[in-house]
């Protein structure tokens, strides 16, 4: 037994940020999940650059648990392929897969934490549910703002670049995701909801 306690064994959680891999998508609304994961990785001094499971991955220890941080490189609508590969490799149940992603029903920078649920029209989440055959995975929704008017094309909207004030709000929200994930891993999801749900 070391002075610092026992080291965690095996990867026991996946934390997945959703987005599109090309540089042109970097500051678009659909990449809020990537932004949040990058922010977490920076705070943890984790290097999310290894190519595995059709994703960029890196390991970190959060709340005493070994976690795989993951950015699927399959494009948003096929995110489930990467998530399912990693989950099946490490034998991780849906309840231990936390997904960070954009939500157009919330104002930019607002957060909403859910234990599980439907895809709500989000194609990345829809694909993960299809591949995992389960909607029982926890998630952190990051508000990116709704379409300016109902007739605006949804794909055009989610692939549009944030305005500067929106970007700042989303980056600030991304800065809270590590604490949220820590609480969720500790089994304190209710506390995370109380603190951060808008």
Residue with token string 């926890």: 138
Among residues 13, 11, 179, the alpha carbon closest in space to that of 96 is found at 13
Q: Please give the structure tokens belonging to residue 176.
A: 């809270």
Annotated catalytic residue 30? yes
Angstrom CA distances, 42 to 60, 135, 140, stand at 11, 29, 18
Which residue is catalytic, options 30, 122, 149, 176? Answer: 30
> Do 68 and 59 contact (CB within 8 A), yes or no?
yes
What is the phi/psi pair of residue 101, to 5°? -155, 165
Angstrom CA distances, 156 to 52, 121, 152, stand at 30, 15, 8
> Do 70 and 101 contact (CB within 8 A), yes or no?
no
**Pairing outcome for strands 139-143 and 111-114:** antiparallel
What is the phi/psi pair of residue 161, to 5°? -80, 140
Among residues 72, 101, 109, 104, the alpha carbon closest in space to that of 87 is found at 72
By annotation, the residues acting in catalysis are: 30
């Amino acid at each position: 037994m070391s002075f610092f306690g026992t080291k965690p064994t095996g990867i026991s959680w996946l934390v997945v940020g959703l987005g599109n891999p090309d540089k042109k998508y970097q500051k678009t609304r659909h990449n809020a999940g990537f932004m949040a994961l990058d922010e977490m990785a920076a705070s943890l001094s984790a290097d999310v650059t290894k190519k595995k499971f059709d994703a960029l991955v890196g390991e970190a220890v959060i709340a005493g648990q070994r976690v795989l941080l993951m950015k699927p490189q399959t494009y948003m609508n096929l995110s489930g392929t990467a998530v399912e590969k990693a989950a099946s490799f490490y034998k991780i149940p849906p309840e231990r897969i936390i997904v960070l992603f954009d939500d157009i029903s919330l104002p930019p920078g607002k957060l909403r934490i859910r234990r599980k649920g439907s895809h709500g029209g989000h194609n990345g989440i829809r694909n993960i549910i299809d591949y995992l055959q389960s909607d029982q995975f926890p998630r952190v929704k990051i508000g990116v703002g709704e379409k300016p008017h109902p007739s605006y094309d949804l794909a055009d909207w989610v692939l549009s670049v944030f305005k500067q004030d929106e970007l700042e709000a989303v980056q600030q929200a991304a800065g809270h995701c590590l604490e949220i994930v820590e609480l969720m891993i500790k089994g304190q999801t209710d506390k995370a909801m109380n603190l951060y749900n808008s």
